[in-house]
Chain A
Amino acid sequence: MTMFTDPFDAKTLLSRRCACGGNHTPEQHLEATRVAASTEESWWTRVVDAAVLRAVFPHDAQRRLFLRTVGASTAMAAISTVFPLAIAREAFAQGGAPEKRDLKVGFIPITCATPIIMAHPMGFYSKHGLNVEVVKTAGWAVIRDKALNKEYDAAHMLAPMPIAISIGAGSNPIPFAMPAIENINGQAITLASKHKDKRSPKDWKGFRFAVPFDYSMHNYLLRYYVAEHGLDPDKDIQIRSVPPPEMVANLRADNIDGFLGPDPFNQRAVFDGVGFIHLLTKELWDGHPCCAFAVSKEFIAQNPNTYRALLKAIIEATAFASKADNRKEIAKAIAPQNYLNQPEIVLEQILTGTYADGLGAVKRDPKRIDFDPFPWPQFAIWILTQMKRWGQIKGDVDYAKIAADVYLATDTVQLMKEAGFTPPDPTRKTIVIMGKPFDASKPEAYLQSFAIRRS
């Protein structure tokens, strides 16, 4: 918590690394955040002081030596003579200050939401001057309604949801934006243990599957997968929309034969001996998007600074989560009841990619789930082709326009630069799904190339 500790204290370590690298528990972290938020003014003061001190003394050792020699108040006075600390504090607090500091962000308790959730205990929100409450929500329809009701300022959604909301599929059309993807990969097909020997989709006729939501990558990937194996997902199998937490319970109760769902529930099914992991979605499409960070266009227009701060926090949290070394620490931070409410060992297997497959083998795949915030417009176009393929939208679709409207790649490029990351070139992206390349410039031709489709 270097941001909130007194930079004029000689004992304080003042490095640029985020506090979460420190050796404290997430609870202490949380406590510090709360204290910081309650004394907002002194908080800004400290952030600015720390920034100035850091500029004057880039090395921690030097600064501490200096402070120990002359004392904090003398140091303050000395620096004030060369640098107008008071003015800097004020300018900083006014200029880029968020319009709205107390925010509510809704999430579904799944590992896809990792960046949104961990940004809270690990202090990424508070680092950007935001007091964010992350609220656990029961299902996708509820999170959509709460986001539309403005009970939530921003929300964790499935990647297709902002598109569906914006074009009015399954709800009233309300312009929504998706400035950041949360995770790529990280889903799996889990089957009930009794289907151990039915590993080919050709044997799946009559199976009942669960997916989290109609407008989800899970739905489109499952349909794509079985259709490639010659099954019609609308006729040969049953696909139901079931909230992720209820999937394992349903699998155990024999209500479904399997699910293409988010983690931790694939791993949880293995942990409880209910099912096995048939395949990771990474094996279908390596790098596919899954969940998204979504805000309404209205919120962006009314609170541009808050939006930027929030998005920066998310981008930084996502970058932190993408490093394999940080994964164990993240698993520990998001396991408690307040967040995912899962055994730590389950989350660790998902995030580190060393996992039990449910059939007695330990598998290793460090990219089982990965985090990459970049909202490729190509993703949106692919999602639109599948929405049309399965009859969720009809008629002519202006693929490129919707993609550009909802997936705000330009914003992300700019903020990634500001946060010190190198953004990718949005025009360059190759997508290959089960060996079949997708050309985003020819969506209609791609759509027509499938034998099984509704339109």
Chain B
Amino acid sequence: MATLKESLALKSALLSVLLLAVFLGLWQLAAQPAASGGTIVDPEYAKLVGQAAATGSKTPMPTPADIGVALWKHLSDPFYVRGTNDKGIGIQLAWSIGRVLAGYLLAAAVAIPLGFLIGMSPLVYRALDPFIQVLKPVSPLAWMPLALYTIKDSQISSIFVIFICSIWPMLINTAFGVASVRREWLNVARTLEVGPFRKAFRVILPAAAPTIMTGMRISIGIAWLVIVAAEMLVGGTGIGYFVWNEWNNLSIANIVSAILLIGLVGLVLDQMLARIARLVTYPE
């Protein structure tokens, strides 16, 4: 059985590598600059424009090799500071992660207690439901102008946007988890005359923990998605600003290397929460 599993893992890994190689190979071929033969312009003009424009075409998409070079350049010196608007990619990522964690932890601090309350009291659940249903589908970036206008601080505004987008999955999952704790367990607690706090922490919380963790895992994913967009909008620092700044320079190679790093950080954040979630699961 074990050998079968191992060989499956090996096969799937091989397939992944193969897919990647095919993809990169096709990309490299497709992005080759078109063979010259376009209009040849005078040399003075050619000096003033990009290589592609000199032969009458558009600057082509960078090849995977170009992106590798750009990525290596960023990774080999990730923490430089060359002025307010030019900092290494490591510093930018740290800013983004910091903002995400601040907004996310604030959201957790609000959503989990509130979710408990909603889950335990059908009355509160019904009273708050319309608000949650209306606010939940609002794109977090739509809050940005309002936040800038009322909070009057772009730093706090971007943290607020993270807060508002990561609160809903946690709130709803907590409420759902708390509401669906098995009746029998609550009845046992009642028969043993357990106090309300003890009941909340020793019975409901462990029972609802897996559902709450699922909510938290969804939230961190959303928060990481949103921070890039929020920073592109507000600028200043962060990986979103980095992408915007390179967009400004129309440097696709730098943007793609940032995309790879954003994906990698998102994966790490998700896996961390998955680990924690595994710790609190219990067999029925």
Q: Does A109 contact B (CB under 8 A)?
A: yes
Contact A246 B247 (CB under 8 A): yes
Complex CA–CA separation, A339 to B86 (angstroms): 8
Selected contact of B49 from candidates A135, A139, A149, A270, CB within 8 Å: A270
Instruction: Count CB-based A-B contacts (< 8 Å).
Output: 113
Contact B44 A341 (CB under 8 A): no
Q: Does A146 contact B (CB under 8 A)?
A: yes
Chain A residue at minimal CB-CB distance from B51: A273
Contact B85 A138 (CB under 8 A): no
Contact B245 A337 (CB under 8 A): yes
- List residues 35-57 of chain B with CB under 8 A from any CB of chain A: 39, 41-42, 44-45, 47-50, 52-53, 56-57
Given A142-B233, A145-B149, the answer on whether A356 and B86 have CB atoms closer than 8 Å is no
Contact B48 A248 (CB under 8 A): no
Given A109-B248, A341-B248, the answer on whether A274 and B58 have CB atoms closer than 8 Å is yes
Contact A273 B59 (CB under 8 A): yes
Q: Does A245 contact B (CB under 8 A)?
A: yes
What residues of B have a CB within 8 angstroms of the CB of A141 in the complex? 145
Least CB distance from B88 to A in Å reads: 11
Q: Does B244 contact A (CB under 8 A)?
A: yes
Q: Does A325 contact B (CB under 8 A)?
A: no
Complex CA–CA separation, A148 to B99 (angstroms): 23
Q: Does B5 contact A (CB under 8 A)?
A: no
Selected contact of B83 from candidates A30, A109, A273, CB within 8 Å: A30
Selected contact of A272 from candidates B44, B50, B84, B233, CB within 8 Å: B50
Least CB distance from A171 to B in Å reads: 9
The 9 lowest CB-CB distance pairs between A and B, nearest first, are A273-B53, A338-B86, A338-B83, A138-B235, A245-B248, A356-B48, A149-B152, A136-B85, A337-B86
Least CB distance from A377 to B in Å reads: 31
Complex CA–CA separation, A356 to B39 (angstroms): 15
- List residues 139-166 of chain B with CB under 8 A from any CB of chain A: 145, 148-149, 152-154
Contact with B along A120-156 (1 / 0, CB 8 A): 0000000000000111111101100110111100000
Selected contact of A273 from candidates B47, B52, B154, CB within 8 Å: B52
What residues of B have a CB within 8 angstroms of the CB of A248 in the complex? 250
Contact B82 A338 (CB under 8 A): yes
- Count residues of chain B with CB under 8 A from any CB of chain A: 39
Given A138-B244, A142-B233, A245-B248, the answer on whether A345 and B48 have CB atoms closer than 8 Å is yes
Least CB distance from A194 to B in Å reads: 11
**Could you list which residues of chain A lie within 8 angstroms of chain B, going by C-beta atoms?**
27, 30, 109, 133-139, 141-142, 145-146, 148-151, 245-246, 248-249, 252, 268, 270-274, 336-339, 341-342, 345, 349, 354-356, 358, 360-362
Contact A135 B236 (CB under 8 A): yes
Given A273-B49, A338-B84, A356-B49, the answer on whether A151 and B154 have CB atoms closer than 8 Å is yes
What residues of B have a CB within 8 angstroms of the CB of A146 in the complex? 154
Contact B52 A356 (CB under 8 A): no
Complex CA–CA separation, A10 to B159 (angstroms): 54
A145-B148, A145-B149, A336-B82 are known; give 20 further A-B pairs, CB within 8 A: A30-B83, A109-B248, A134-B84, A135-B84, A137-B236, A138-B234, A142-B235, A149-B152, A149-B153, A150-B152, A271-B48, A271-B59, A272-B58, A274-B59, A337-B82, A337-B85, A338-B82, A339-B85, A356-B53, A362-B44
What residues of A have a CB within 8 angstroms of the CB of B49 in the complex? 270-271, 273, 356, 358
